[in-house]
Structure 1
Amino acid sequence: MTQHALHPADDLLPRDIPVQLIDPTGAPVTDEHFTRPDNDALLRAYRGLVEGRRINDQANALVRQGRLAVYPSSHGQEACQVAASQVLGDRDWLFPTYRDSVAVIARGVSPADTMTLLKGDWHSGYDSHEHRVAPQATPLATQLLHAVGFAQAAKHRGEDTVVLALCGDGATSEGDFHEAMNFAAVFHVPVVFFVQNNEFAISVPLSRQTAAPSLAHKAIGYGMPGQRVDGNDVAAVLAVLGEAVDRARAGGGPSLVEAHTYRMQAHTNADDDTRYREREEVQAWIARDPLTRLRTYLTAEGALDEETEAALAAGAEEIAAALRDALNADSELDPEDLFRYVSTTRSPQLTEQWEQLRGEIDRSIQPTGGH
């Protein structure tokens, strides 16, 4: 096995203060290491923020209408979602969580197909290989092990693929998280762990998840660098994640990026977040909204005007309308699908069961005689 050089401890430690390139007021911040992306890249990201916010709002409405079974909103976390997609190349892979629908859509998956899982029809409604997006996962942290294995396979094949593995702060308390980190570091695979620290794992605050100075500090225990970033500053997230992806592609191995953000809405529509956090706390984060922050910056730079803003809003509305139409249409169900995808070759037992069900269906739709 090829050995890789151990890193000095100082090279692995994250900053005391998260990286920030645009402050909450929309003013630029100079950083000695990270360069703010140019306005073209930021305008592309802003479009993603506008569309992501509209998708979140529309999905929440569809839950109330009974068209979605559940929706874990990323309202307020859209900067992480958009940046996660934007830093990846065509050959790279995204391994999302259940809350990362906006990132999946930004990667090219249609909104309607993305919502298939949350509608309850299938485990995944899109072709993972076509879009290079793994199926969204509801169990915490399981996708991290899959991501590391995928990155190891890509390395063996000699590909320049980088895998971006997303998770939340709650997932860092799972054993799968630590196993994935350890394997990735020992085998020096091209994977970036991106932790969206939104302060709450359902109802459990971060203070009950870890006693470490930050989640990024966990990286040093596995021999990989960790970095902290303002997760509501899309410019900073693009810069920090972009560097981590470039490092992995160049053979530098895995790294961990912790984005400090906030879950503005409940865990899902089934959750009552008033039981475990105060409204004042939620309101305080409104001033850090990633969308308004970038809008202010781009407007001051002269890169965003009312006409462009209106065009972006109209485009986002078209996406919402298409999602609405798709989910308002009744699904065409085929009962044989219950048996069609169990195994490559259907067993005699499954064949017998299908024939029994088909007979019952045929009898139920036959007209009955009567006087």
Structure 2
Amino acid sequence: MENLRKTPLYARHLEMGGKMVNFSGWALPVQYRSIIEEHQAVREKAGLFDVSHMGEIRISGSGSLELLQKAVTNDVSRLLPGHVLYSPVCNPGGGVVDDILVYRLGEDEFLLVVNAANREKDFSWFKQLAVEFPGVCIEDISSQVAQLALQGPLSVQILARLTSADPGSLPYYRASLDVEVSGVKCMLSRTGYTGEDGFELYCAAEEACRLWDEIMIAGEKDGLIPCGLGARDTLRLEAALPLYGHELDEDITPLEAGLERFICWQKDFTGKEVLLQQKEKGVRRRLVGLEMVDRGIPRKGYTLTSNGQVIGEITSGTQSPTLGKALGLGYVSVESAAVDTVVEVEIRGRNYPARVVPVPFYRRKRTV
């Protein structure tokens, strides 16, 4: 772990028994107790994640909105301060450079939250696009910021013990830009990557341990436990949330990934021409949800076949702790993408049947 990047909470993870692994060059806990226990805690009670490895890029100054409108596929102009949106960022060929969150902090100030593995690439990409917008300032502030994710149905009542703000009144995909949580100044966002209700809290890096400890203490009687990357992955997979490097990369377009709802066709953006052509002609492959008919667990890279012909491959797979089924996401030829189509997953030299099913596999009952 000596040569890996470490979040401000690295020592705390070791103290709490976190099993540390290399994730995109970061030393992060894959689990503390067990992945299943942590997964179930988030579905039924609450879990706390350290996601400080995520990158934060601040864009400010005259022309910031125009730059972002060019850079991302979604419509940033509809954001008011405190609003959040999800969007792919495309290259000129329509492939996905990254999928990010955009926070509007003010009229000409935005915060981008980017995937850890893409931090340097994204920063360079936005700097390159900003050449046309001389009034824009782009700063990588990742090292200054810590990010914690409190997720689960009891997250509102846990957080309410620590702030005079009313976390329960914060709408989904909105952020309170300046609140105090147990005396720590935070940006509080009702977002997450688990398919459950919850919050992401951004604070100064030096305040991360204090904030972590206060949240853990406040949630102890509700069954709050620390959670690692393992549960984060099984939770997001049940909710069919894409993971960059699995469901998304620079050779996959948002249309193939089923993300057209995050494209604003009424504006110009990088890659639009290629995506319009693809929309008119139709895609050749689609991302689908798969449920194993019999035994076997699909894993990334496993080949998908139909009638002896290769039709695609698995991008993510697991045994679902919530549903008790082996589930996967994968790209298949469009001819095999219809719901209830049966395909085969090659696992260790043998083929096992799987059925195309609707996604998400799991959907919580929404209250916000």
TM-score above 0.5, yes or no? no
Task: Please state which structure has a larger fraction of its residues in helix.
Answer: 1
TM-score tier by shorter-chain length is: under 0.3
Task: Please state which structure has a larger fraction of its residues in strand.
Answer: 2
